[in-house]
Amino acid sequence: MSRRKCYFGCEGKLNLFASPKEESTRQYWVQFLFAGQQQPTANWFLCSRHFSEDAFLNRAQYEAGFSARLLLRDGAVPSVKGRVQESEALASSSQQTPTTHYRHTGCQTDPLPTVSVATQFCHHMVSVGTQLSYSTLKNHVRSKGVQVTLCSSVDTENPQQDTRLKLSSTPGKTSAPSPGVRPAKRPRLELQEEEEDEETFSHPHDSTNDLGDSEMSGMESACDYTDPKYIVFESSLRDLFQTCPVCRWECVVQQRSLGTFVSFSQRCPNCQYTRKWQSQPIKENTPVGNLQMSAAVYFTGGSFIQMEKICKAMNLRMFQYDTFRRHARMFLEPAINHKWKTDQQTLIEHLKEEKDKIAVGGDMRADSPGHSAKFGSYTLMHLKSNNIIDVQLVQSNEVGGSSHMEKEGLRRGLDFLEAHHLNVDYIVTDRHAQVHKYLKERNVDQYYDVWHLEKDLSKQLENLAKNKECLVVRKWLPSIKNHMYWTATASKSGAEKVAKWKSLVNHLQNVHTHDDPLFPKCAHPDRVSRDPNKWFQPGSTALSKVEKLLLDKRILRDVEKLNHDHQISSLEAFHSITEGFTPKNDVLSSVGRLCRLYLAAMHFNENAKRDQSTTLEGKAVCRLMFPHCKNGQCIATPVQTEPTFQYVSDLMKLLFEKIFEDPTRYTEDLNKVSLPEDSRGAAGTQQSRQQVQEAPGTSGQQHRTGWRA
């Protein structure tokens, strides 16, 4: 453009025009300029000073700053010959009678001030309504009149090219730091195109050039992840950019999308007005909405597969599963690990301040029923506060089989408490034989949970009650269960517990005096029943079988070790919550399963001490339930207040304010966690730690069709 000059040699700010293509108009130009002389062979141009003011389409917009250059009307011809200097052009135009041109820009959403622009000519007054507020135009306004900032050139000749935005939903891989040198903040992310199978929406006026690095840097914006979000239809968005807010011409609209992110570039072919708009902030080349969607699914224990099905059902744009896994590996899992370790250390410091030995409960949960479990998680709970202290993940091939996972998980948990100088007073567990032997060797006092013993004994009594000669046993099942709980809590001495348990056999025969000196007589008054069929008859088959079962040596030994203060029913409740975060049928990697266990622990600890709900009058609220374990009997259970999810908000804050800025330290902390290596395939080949974190589970296809990610 710098080589082009006006044919008459005019100087100053020029708008140059080439000779028109229409033959009749072109001949008029040639006759005006050369008047029969020979026409030069080189290309020639005329500047705007050789045309009258009514020869232009957008003279008012150009002088107001809304157009970058002047546009000639069809059939416009020059009328001023010779060199015209800029000062002469201004002087001649100042001698004309000034006419004020008013252009009103209205909005359908916000009340706007009237924008009045004084120009040197006008033919009529135009009032234009638009859906854009005046604030959208402020980005293009400068101090000299009103000017627009031009975007880069837009190609409209290839409307069928790919319109997806070439930016990354996740950061690129960073190089390994030098030994002994802590790396600085991660380098600027490389632009890469997502391999997505989503549709791109074509438009007759779409431009399809991909954004470059310079344009991408201009799209970076402040990240406010707490902003409310809304579902907006694409047609509603296109209505905002269909027409020019200045001249009301139909604009060329370019749309680019990446997952939940969409951007529009608008250009008016008439007045050259341009504008860019994006649906969400972009930070480090990553759309914030994409990352926050992954975080919301993961932090709440949800399933990406289920979320993807929901989005597809309502045609809501969503990124791919691989993007979700990269988000999890690089940001989400380091955030979960850091939050859990911080909360765990706070709980340990609080327990140290009490300067007392702690009573803990321990139990294992396997990832599948039976002896085919691959993973097992062993949990230690502080029984006084019902808070989870530690969770250990064990893989079966580490210890030689599923039956050895519980002992190994307990060993790791006790080693963790010992390393943090927490003294264990006693531990309440189930009746696992290996656990009993290990705790005896480690000199740790062990007690049994009443529910586990009652559960095992009830199964044997129910099987006994199926015999025709022992039908009376079924009538006594609730009483036997209640007697076991009373035996556990009525005395701290093991001998007294055994004596009270043996008295049950006398109760079955309606005898309330006993030979045991520790418990010679029942405390309740004697009751005489008129129906002898309610009692066990002396010497009957039913009584002998029940007596043999209740007075078995192992049963008596276990009754002696029943805990009198605390039970691990809260630990069973934690396992129920864990089922929502890591269902047993899911296929998860080691790090994915461990992080979801941490999420379940954070959720349980936050809601461990919820109060009972009350009515407006202050009365406690209960609900009737018919649990399967009660064989259809109705029980009243208290209704607790709604759970809170403050840990999710804390994780979001940690993610966007710290980890997203520099994830290196947090990723290193996660890599220090001791995790079993996943095995894949029938041969059980061992995978590296990097492959384990990349993989969603034992099989990518299997995981895609599974219930949860």
Q: Are residues 585 and 634 in the same domain?
A: no
- Tell me: pLDDT of 205 over 90: no
Q: Which residues of 300-335 are buried (b: 16+ CB within 10 A; e: fewer)?
A: ebebbbebbeebeeeeebbbbbbbbbbbbbbbbbbb
Looking at residue 279, its pLDDT comes to 93
**CA-CA distances (angstroms) from residue 342 to 99, 335, 336, 389?**
72, 11, 10, 12
Q: Are residues 651 and 638 in the same domain?
A: no
Show the beta-strand stretches assigned E in 601-678.
622-625, 635-638
Query: Where is mean pLDDT largest: 88-92, 152-156, 221-225?
Result: 221-225
Per-residue pLDDT tens for 417-475? 999 999 999 999 998 899 999 999 999 999 999 888 888 888 888 888 888 888 888 88
Looking at residue 400, its pLDDT comes to 85
Q: At which of 140, 175, 206 does a domain end?
A: 140
- pLDDT confidence bin for 87, thresholds 50/70/90: low
Number of domains in the chain: 4
**Does any domain span residue 269?**
no
In angstroms, rounded to a whole number, what is the distance separating the alpha carbons of residues 358 and 260? Answer: 49
Q: Are residues 408 and 467 in the same domain?
A: no
Q: Are residues 515 and 485 in the same domain?
A: yes
In angstroms, rounded to a whole number, what is the distance separating the alpha carbons of residues 57 and 247? Answer: 11
- pLDDT confidence bin for 668, thresholds 50/70/90: very high
**The Cα angle at residue 402 between residues 396 and 407, in degrees rounded to 5:** 90
Taking residues 238-257, report their average pLDDT: 91
> Across the chain, which distance is largest between two alpha carbons, in Å?
142
**Minimal CA–CA distance to 137: which of 103, 90, 91?**
103
In angstroms, rounded to a whole number, what is the distance separating the alpha carbons of residues 17 and 1? Answer: 11
Per-residue pLDDT tens for 651-664? 999 999 999 989 99
pTM value is 0.68
Range of the domain at 624: 615-642
Query: Where is mean pLDDT largest: 8-17, 542-551, 638-647, 698-707?
Result: 638-647
Per-residue pLDDT tens for 271-291? 889 999 999 998 888 899 999
**DSSP bridge pairs for 225:** none
Q: Are residues 437 and 471 in the same domain?
A: no
Per-residue pLDDT tens for 555-596? 889 888 888 888 888 898 999 999 999 988 778 889 999 999
Q: Are residues 132 and 82 in the same domain?
A: yes
**Does any domain span residue 666?**
yes
Q: Are residues 502 and 399 in the same domain?
A: no
Q: Are residues 432 and 482 in the same domain?
A: no
**Does any domain span residue 23?**
yes
In angstroms, rounded to a whole number, what is the distance separating the alpha carbons of residues 512 and 527? Answer: 9
Give the gyration radius of the chain's Cα atoms: 40
Other Cβ atoms closer than 10 A to 643: 11
Residue type, 503: S
Q: Are residues 683 and 584 in the same domain?
A: yes
In angstroms, rounded to a whole number, what is the distance separating the alpha carbons of residues 15 and 623? Answer: 82
Query: Where is mean pLDDT largest: 138-142, 223-227, 409-413?
Result: 409-413
Q: What is the CATH number of the domain that holds 400?
A: 3.30.420.10
Place of tokens 């431009």: 207
Taking residues 408-412, report their average pLDDT: 94
Mean pLDDT, the chain, integer:
75
- Tell me: pLDDT of 223 over 60: yes
Those residues whose C-beta lies under 8 Å from the C-beta of residue 118, and which sit 6 or more positions away, are: 98, 100, 101
- Tell me: pLDDT of 182 over 70: no
Q: Are residues 390 and 526 in the same domain?
A: no
Q: At which of 72, 107, 140 does a domain end?
A: 140
Per-residue pLDDT tens for 286-335? 899 999 999 999 999 999 999 999 999 999 999 999 999 999 999 999 99
| DSSP helix/strand/coil, 240 | helix
Looking at residue 148, its pLDDT comes to 35
**Does any domain span residue 33?**
yes
Per-residue pLDDT tens for 90-106? 544 444 433 333 344 34
Taking residues 78-84, report their average pLDDT: 79
3-state SS string over 529-547? CCCHHHCCCCCCHHHHHHH
Looking at residue 611, its pLDDT comes to 87
**Minimal CA–CA distance to 146: which of 186, 115, 192?**
115
Query: In the sheet where 375-382 sits, what is the strand order?
Result: 387-395, 375-382, 358-366, 424-429, 446-448
434 and 414 Cβ atoms separated by less than 8 Å: no
**Does any domain span residue 443?**
yes
- Tell me: pLDDT of 209 over 60: no
Looking at residue 705, its pLDDT comes to 34
**Does any domain span residue 485?**
yes
Choose between 259 and 31: higher pLDDT. Answer: 259
- Tell me: pLDDT of 89 over 70: no
Q: Which residues of 653-666 are buried (b: 16+ CB within 10 A; e: fewer)?
A: ebbbeebbeebbeb
**Minimal CA–CA distance to 506: which of 530, 531, 524, 485?**
524
| DSSP helix/strand/coil, 254 | strand
In angstroms, rounded to a whole number, what is the distance separating the alpha carbons of residues 241 and 253? Answer: 7
Q: Are residues 469 and 528 in the same domain?
A: yes
**Does any domain span residue 272?**
no
**The tokens of 183 are what?**
């790396």
**Does any domain span residue 204?**
no
Q: Are residues 489 and 590 in the same domain?
A: no
Q: Tell me the pairing of strands 45-47 and 16-18.
A: antiparallel
**CA-CA distances (angstroms) from residue 540 to 362, 465, 508, 512?**
41, 14, 12, 19
Q: At which of 642, 661, 686 does a domain end?
A: 642
In angstroms, rounded to a whole number, what is the distance separating the alpha carbons of residues 177 and 174? Answer: 9
Share of the chain above pLDDT 70, in %: 70
